[in-house]
Amino acid sequence: MLLPNILLTGTPGVGKTTLGKELAARSGLKYVNVGDLAQEGQLYDGYDEEYDCPILDEDRVVDELENQMSEGGVIIDYHGCDFFPERWFHIVFVLKTDNSILYKRLETRGYNEKKLKDNVQCEIFQILYEEALASYSEDIVHQLPSDKPEDLENNINQILKWIEQWTKDHSS
C-alpha cells in the first residue's frame, strides 16, 4: 500500500464532503462519499419514514469498497463509522461544528424538525467522536474544528502534511 486510507466522519452538515473533495483534489487520493456510492448502487435495506431517508445496507457497502480500500489511497466520507473494518484506515478525522452554525447548515438543507434536533443533539453529545473512539485505535482518531472557511484551509493543510509524512514513513 503506497498511500494511506483516511476516514472523514462527523454529524451531517459539519463539512465532510467539502473537505473530502478538496483534499482529494490537492492530494491525488480517491474520494468516496458513501451516501453517493449507496445511491448509485442502490445499497439500501429499506426506508426510514421517521427520518425520511433510505437505510444503508452496511454489509453491501463494505463489500463494494473492499478492493479499493485494500489498494490504499482512499478518502471515505460518511457520518457513521462503526461498521467499517478497523484495518481499513490509517487515520480518522471527526469534524466538529458549533451547534448554532450546524443548525443553520441543516436548516438550509431542508431537514425536518426531528432530524434537525436529533443531529444537533448528536453533535452536542459528540456521539460520532465517541463512536470513532470505540471503533478505532485512539491514537489514530482526531477531532478537527469545522466552523469557518479558515478551518477548512487549516484542516486541508494539516491533513496534507500528515499524508506526506505517512508516505515518507511507509516508502521502502
Binding residue positions for ATP? 13, 15-18, 109, 148
- Residues whose CB falls within 8 Å of the CB of residue 10, separated by 6 or more in sequence, listed in order: 16, 79, 94, 95, 96, 97, 123, 128, 129, 146
Residue set of the binding site: 13, 15-18, 109, 148
CA dist 82 and 65 (Å) reads 15
Cβ neighbour number for residue 133 with a 10 Å cutoff: 15
Nearest to 156 by CA among 29, 10, 70: 29
